[in-house]
Structure 1
């Protein structure tokens, strides 16, 4: 089995993260999967962006939860990365899904619920309702640093795949795995390197794997996948090491 390449916020290293150009580039680079993040706007729309605030990645300021969709759509999400991408907008979940459907994408769509800092009321139900009403050709994988979001979504969509994100502690991840709520771990690659011999035999997709050294480590040990900002580089290296 080939180690799957999951594009972190799209091709984050080469395009404005979590934007349609970033996801399009990831598909062109040969990514097997897309990883992205979802928040909830003031007026209840599912918004694709990483941070709780727009300050870092756009020309605006403020929290996602305090801004409406119309206000978010007026922001420039590309110019801070490179003036070439000026005018790029923050996408909604539906816009990203429709891009993937149009591209006939059949890989992994790893949606992280960003609820570990702000517990958006009802976001799990909104996400589940969206996918229950929008059949997709790709494999849906949910993850979160907030275990309750995983448990709530599991109750709503028991047939989806769930994986646990963590940086250094994985007691909760072990419990959820034992309870058959999750089937894999998405740990920090630095943590994986320190604890390699102690890791349980579960599906591993470490993040964020950006150096050739770390990519080679993942390919050599045949991890289920790796999450990277540079899917193009990861794909070229996988061809050399795993033949595909």
Structure 2
């Protein structure tokens, strides 16, 4: 539940901002109460804590007494072509507790595994997904640009259903990373959960977009969910470079970043009723983990790619982490 400090901060900010604009205590009070009622009526409760814990800390695998999880990012994109059946199998073989898989759609609406909205970076094809039917995508070599392309030559882009079946067979926890398409994604995942009820206890739906998570909870309130967040994501790329050359755009988006970060930590997590918060690793500290623990939310760090980092998050912070490789140190994918 939202802590008292969050409640006071959130509604105090609303009250002060509206009061400064309207100069009317009556209108300000009425609007603040309306927002309170709206949030109370339309927010989603978290799923039961014991089931969320089962997903985040499965009894099988894991590390130590707390059963911490190492999750293969995009199936473990350093050890095998990302978001492929081969990656899922390699992750299982290399000791991953689970896999993070990216959900996208072909031009004809087939749910597939793909991180980008184009096929250029990972395959021998070109063009956006919106221009490629599933039959076209199936002809591509998903290993074409991978460092181990010779070992995995001819690997295909899998459907979401194919990937899930393989994960269930290998008893891997699944982190569904939804890139967008909130209505289509919610419908596809709802059908998948209905067909495979085991997913309620071994998977979690996460996204950078709160709308995706809210729509998922609307579609099926029983699904465990998480928000994903990287500070300054609107104004900077993952490597820290500014997104905009225009100063006014840069500072405007920086302000939006501040507001988005505040909303994630004080409003959106409660509105969506998430059970976990996936955060860029540099933000994670003992105090940060405790901050979320008081709210019944678990922290998952990404992307943790060196032996030293893994030991730190596993042994000291005692949180789950997402990694590009189960075998060696490597550069992170953003």
Given that residues 289 and 298 in structure 2 are in contact (C-alpha distance below 8 angstroms), is that contact kept between their aligned partners in structure 1? Answer: no
Q: Give per-residue Cα distances to partners, 1:79-113, cap 9 Å, x unaligned.
A: 2112222111111101111212333x1x4210011
- Range 78-87 or range 196-205, more displaced: 196-205
Aligned partner of 2:323 among 228, 234, 241: 228
What TM-score results when the alignment is normalised by the length of structure 1? 0.85
Unaligned ranges ≥5, structure 1:
235-244
More strand by share: 1
Q: Does 1:213 align with 2:308?
A: yes
Tell me, in whole angstroms, the C-alpha distance in 2 between the residues paired with 1:87 and 1:162: 34
- CA shift, 1:39, in A, is 0.5
For the pair shown, the structure with the greater C-alpha radius of gyration is: 2
Q: Does 1:40 align with 2:121?
A: no
- CA shift, 1:197, in A, is 8.0
- CA shift, 1:233, in A, is 5.4
Which residues in structure 2 correspond to 1:102-181 (within 5 Å)? 102-103=169-170, 105=171, 107-115=172-180, 119=181, 122-136=184-198, 139-168=202-231, 170-174=261-265, 175-179=267-271, 181=273
Given that residues 3 and 222 in structure 1 are in contact (C-alpha distance below 8 angstroms), is that contact kept between their aligned partners in structure 2? Answer: no
- CA shift, 1:180, in A, is 5.8
Q: Give per-residue Cα distances to partners, 1:188-235, cap 9 Å, x unaligned.
A: 00222598488432311110000122212211334331000112459x
Q: 1:130 to 1:2 in 2, by over 3 A?
A: closer
Given that residues 104 and 112 in structure 2 are in contact (C-alpha distance below 8 angstroms), is that contact kept between their aligned partners in structure 1? Answer: yes
SS in structure 2 of the partner of residue 83 of structure 1: coil
- Range 200-209 or range 146-155, more displaced: 200-209
Q: Does 1:53 align with 2:118?
A: yes
Count of residue pairs the alignment pairs up = 229
The residue number in structure 1 matching 2:90 is 25
Tell me, in whole angstroms, the C-alpha distance in 2 between the residues paired with 1:219 and 1:3: 7
RMSD over aligned Cα atoms: 2.3
Given that residues 165 and 186 in structure 1 are in contact (C-alpha distance below 8 angstroms), is that contact kept between their aligned partners in structure 2? Answer: yes
SS in structure 1 of the partner of residue 194 of structure 2: helix
More helix by share: 2
Q: 1:223 to 1:194 in 2, by over 3 A?
A: closer
